[in-house]
């Protein structure tokens, strides 16, 4: 799940609490919850080796609370047959009566006690996946060792401390499972919000509901075929070293039908949601060394299709900051040899964002597609979709669109009854006409497959406590400042 929750939004707790995490485990041996406190597969072997080392103390240290998480963490550890010498969760009150304001403060206090308890220990190794915490731990041990080196200190000798940053691995729930779990939390919240004694998290919000925004309708490409397109077509086209840099954004996930919800008439013409269509690559091209794309044709060529681009293509990758829509400006395509004329199957679907907002009984289905206008923050998802399918000013004219139902064998396939809602259309005063700018969330999920990728909801950050999240899109605003938007 995305870390887009306003803290304390749900009366009975949210996805960071024990009950939702218990519900999301789909088999303990799979360790389906992406908790960094439990070592990932590559760290399990290290723990096992440490267990076998007689002069080593093996510790699992987490900022999860004792009361809420002791049972579930024990079950997860047992499922991997691991035997830690110490499993340490954050207590409500410390041994000296202190309360810890953050996970980092708790962990620093514990590690200092650990080092001062085992005074003969020569080294300590800490495995951590959050960059911010890695830096904090390294500074903490440097300061501790400086204290040990002072003439006044006779507590112990300095310790060789190594903080190892491990991969921030993520495991995702199937979108349907995730949406069902969120709906369960909403149902629990809505049942209890009228009863103050049930409001465990002191949530200030009333009834909540899931709202749905469609960013585009397209022919969605599976993960396996996306990987084939990248490996067979994109990689040979890239300049040396670019593939290994952080300057490239891989796509290869969909072929645009329309940058909005499709009208019923248009869906009927493309076969409806879930309809399958096979495509073959006929050419490749690069636009200004910033956008890489592959031109396509349906199989057989007489098969009917629709796209609002000049011709069907799939954007393979873009440099960061580039506009994928610029692939529509490509005029010179290079034919592909027979061994690169890849064929693949697509499914008609939508890129959908599900948001959690307060329920507004006066809001219609059309209005519910737009994020609460009191939320002024621009989110990652909205920025991405602005780049992919740019919005147009409510004051300026829309560029012409073909609106043609393409048929290689001629005929006027124009559809006259485009009843699909536009983002920011005239249904909401002041939003302008056509595809005016609507404000949406930043994370994928829900129906469809994200950008054509089944297991790719937005990145999950391991949150021991909410204040510890060091990502760039943290939401902490309350109801008097901004709406409680939780994005999936």
pLDDT score of 394 more than 80: no
Over the stretch 156-198, which tens digit does the pLDDT of each residue have?
999 999 999 887 666 667 778 888 888 888 888 788 776 666 5
pLDDT of 233 above 90:
yes
Measured in degrees and rounded to the nearest 5, phi and psi for residue 329 equal -85, -5
User: How many other CB atoms sit within 10 Å of the CB of residue 100?
Assistant: 19
- Cβ partners under 8 Å of residue 60, min gap 6: 37, 38, 73, 77, 84, 86, 87, 88
Neighbouring C-beta atoms of residue 442, cutoff 10 Å:
23
How far is it, in rounded angstroms, from Cα 436 to Cα 422? Answer: 8
Provide the terminal-to-terminal Cα distance of the chain, rounded to the nearest Å. Answer: 6
- Residue 188 tokens read as 């629990």
- What local confidence, expressed as pLDDT, does residue 154 receive? 77
User: Residue 169 in contact with residue 38, Cβ under 8 Å?
Assistant: no
* DSSP-H helix ranges across 307-370: none
Supply the pLDDT for residue 182.
Answer: 84
Residue range 368-381: mean pLDDT, rounded: 51
pLDDT bucket at 333, cuts 50 / 70 / 90 = very high
pTM exceeds 0.75 for this model: no
246 vs 29 pLDDT, higher one:
246
Percent of the chain whose predicted confidence (pLDDT) is above 70: 62
CB 173 within 8 A of CB 457: yes
Q: What structural domains does the chain harbor? A: 36-165 (3.40.50), 210-354 (3.90.1740.10)
Give percent helix, percent strand, percent coil of the chain, each to the nearest 5.
Answer: 30, 20, 55
For residue 123 the two structure tokens come to 């080294």
* Closest among 335, 328, 135, 344 to 227, alpha carbons compared: 344
Closest of 231, 378, 233 to residue 294, by C-alpha: 233
């Amino acid at each position: 799940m995305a870390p887009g929750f306003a803290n304390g939004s749900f009366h009975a707790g949210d996805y960071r609490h024990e009950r939702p995490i218990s519900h999301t485990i789909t088999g303990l041996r799979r360790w389906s919850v992406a908790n960094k406190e439990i070592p990932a597969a590559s760290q399990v072997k290290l723990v096992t080796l440490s267990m076998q080392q007689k002069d080593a103390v093996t510790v699992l240290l987490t900022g999860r609370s004792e009361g809420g998480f002791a049972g579930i963490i024990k079950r997860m550890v047992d499922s991997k047959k691991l035997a830690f010498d110490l499993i340490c969760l954050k207590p409500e009150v410390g041994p000296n009566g202190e309360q810890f304001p953050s996970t980092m403060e708790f962990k620093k206090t514990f590690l200092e006690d650990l080092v001062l308890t085992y005074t003969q220990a020569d080294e300590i190794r800490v495995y951590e996946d959050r960059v911010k915490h890695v830096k904090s731990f390294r500074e903490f041990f440097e300061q501790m060792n400086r204290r040990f080196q002072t003439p006044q200190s006779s507590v112990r000798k300095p310790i060789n401390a190594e903080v190892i940053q491990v991969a921030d691995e993520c495991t995702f729930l199937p979108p349907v499972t995730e949406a069902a779990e969120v709906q369960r939390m909403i149902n629990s919240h809505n049942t209890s919000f009228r009863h103050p004694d049930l409001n465990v998290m002191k949530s200030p919000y009333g009834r909540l509901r899931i709202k749905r925004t469609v960013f585009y309708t397209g022919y969605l490409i599976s993960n396996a075929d996306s990987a084939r397109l990248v490996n067979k077509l994109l990689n040979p086209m890239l300049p040396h070293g670019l593939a290994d840099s952080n300057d490239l954004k891989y796509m290869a996930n969909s072929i645009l039908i329309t940058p909005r919800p499709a009208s019923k008439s248009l869906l009927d013409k493309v076969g409806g949601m879930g309809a399958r269509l096979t495509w073959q690559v006929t050419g490749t091209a690069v636009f200004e060394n910033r956008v890489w794309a592959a031109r396509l044709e349906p199989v057989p060529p007489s098969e009917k299709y629709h796209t609002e681009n000049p011709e069907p293509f799939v954007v393979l990758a873009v440099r960061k900051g580039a506009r994928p829509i610029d692939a529509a400006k490509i005029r010179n395509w290079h034919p592909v040899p027979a061994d690169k004329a890849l064929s693949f199957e697509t499914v008609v679907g939508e890129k959908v964002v599900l948001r959690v907002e307060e329920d507004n009984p006066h809001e219609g289905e059309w209005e519910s597609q737009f994020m609460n206008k009191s939320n002024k923050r621009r989110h990652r998802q909205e920025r991405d979709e602005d780049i992919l399918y740019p919005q147009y000013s409510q004051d300026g004219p829309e560029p012409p669109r073909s609106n043609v139902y393409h048929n290689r064998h001629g005929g006027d396939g124009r559809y006259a009854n485009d009843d699909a809602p536009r983002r920011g259309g005239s249904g909401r005063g002041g939003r302008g006409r056509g595809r005016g700018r609507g404000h949406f969330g930043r994370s994928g999920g829900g129906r469809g497959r994200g950008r054509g990728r089944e297991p790719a909801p937005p990145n999950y950050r391991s949150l021991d406590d909410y204040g510890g999240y060091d990502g760039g899109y943290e939401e902490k605003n309350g109801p008097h400042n901004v709406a409680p938007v939780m994005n999936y």
